[in-house]
Every structure is written in C-alpha cells, then in structure tokens.
Amino acid sequence: MKENKLELFSPECITQEEVVKAQLEWGEGIVKIGKAFLDDGDYVKAAKEHIQNLYGYDLSQVLFKPTLASTHQFRETFDAALSYFVGGNETYPEDKGFAIAPYTKVRWENSGIINYTCTMAIAMGNYYFTKTDGEEVKVEYTFGYVKDIKGKLRIVVHKSALPFSPE
C-alpha cells in the first residue's frame, strides 16, 4: 500500500450520476453472486470480486453494518464482509450468505444523495431485493462513497437495516 493515503484517492468531485451508477453496479453484483450459487458456479470468487471492486477495504477503514448481522454487527475487514455475503466462515456463525439467498433484482429508491465535501458522497434510502419467487424485500440503507485514484467509486460506509416494525 502507498505510504501517502491521499495518493489513493481522486481529487475529482463525485457526481450524483456516479453514485446512481455505483448503486446499480452493486445490485448487479449481488444478483451475479446469487446466480453463480444457483448455477453451481464459483460464487465465492464472484463475491470476492464484488467486494474488491466496490468496497474500499484497500483504501481506508470501511464502516460496514450489514442488515442481517446481530452478533458480529460490524464488518471491518474484507474477510468479514465476504462471510456476510456468502457464509461459511466459522468466525461468523450467524452468516448464512446474504447474497446467495439469492435475488434476481435490486431496485434503489434514494431519499437523497449529498456530496457537499466533493470527495465523499452519501446516499440514503430504501433498496428492494427481489427473491426468486418474486417477493420483494425492503431494506433501508446508507452508503458512503469515495473516488479512488482511477476514478472508481468505492464504498467506505455501508449501513443497512430492515424497516422498524412496532410488533
């Protein structure tokens, strides 16, 4: 890793269009992991590529609080994120593999996207995961993005939760 962390980030401002594109890419990645699982393909490889391509674990600390994590709520390492997406890591026995549920579609509804600092953008809203039976699952999210030196948006904050239920 480079000694000067600033060399890892682009000085270019992040646009709302780039955030929407990154969201679509994230959703497509979740669907791809699940499809690989259903097709008896290498879904672990697909998940590793998804994390390497879209998360900034190689750039900085990543604050990741996945929806279905309660015992190990925060996933601060690449391996912890991988476990959440595909399961199979005995350190995280609660992980059943979120991305291998699987889902056929991810739809985003942004409540808002802010990028006042120019080099970091935050999006918040709901995303909807379509199961193979057509049922849609609503999840609330907050994602924070930075732009790496190659101009690619990378997730450094990921918080998601099921909507509050007063029951």
User: Rounded to whole angstroms, how far apart are CA atoms 83 and 90?
Assistant: 9
Q: Which of 151, 141, 143, 156 is nearest to 114 (CA)?
A: 143
Does residue 3 carry a pLDDT above 70? no
Domain coverage including residue 144:
12-161
Whole-number average pLDDT of the chain: 95
The answer to whether residue 135 sits within a structural domain is yes
The pLDDT of residue 2 is: 44
Q: Report how many domains make up the chain.
A: 1
Phi, psi of 132 (to 5 degrees): -65, -25
The answer to whether residue 133 sits within a structural domain is yes
Residue 67 belongs to domain with CATH number: 3.10.450.50
The answer to whether residue 87 sits within a structural domain is yes
Tell me the pLDDT tens digit for each residue of 140-150.
Answer: 999 999 999 99
The answer to whether residue 89 sits within a structural domain is yes
Does residue 11 carry a pLDDT above 60? yes
State mean pLDDT over 125-137. 97
Tell me the pLDDT tens digit for each residue of 82-118.
Answer: 999 999 999 999 999 999 999 999 999 999 999 888 8
Look at residue 146 and give its three-state secondary structure.
Answer: strand
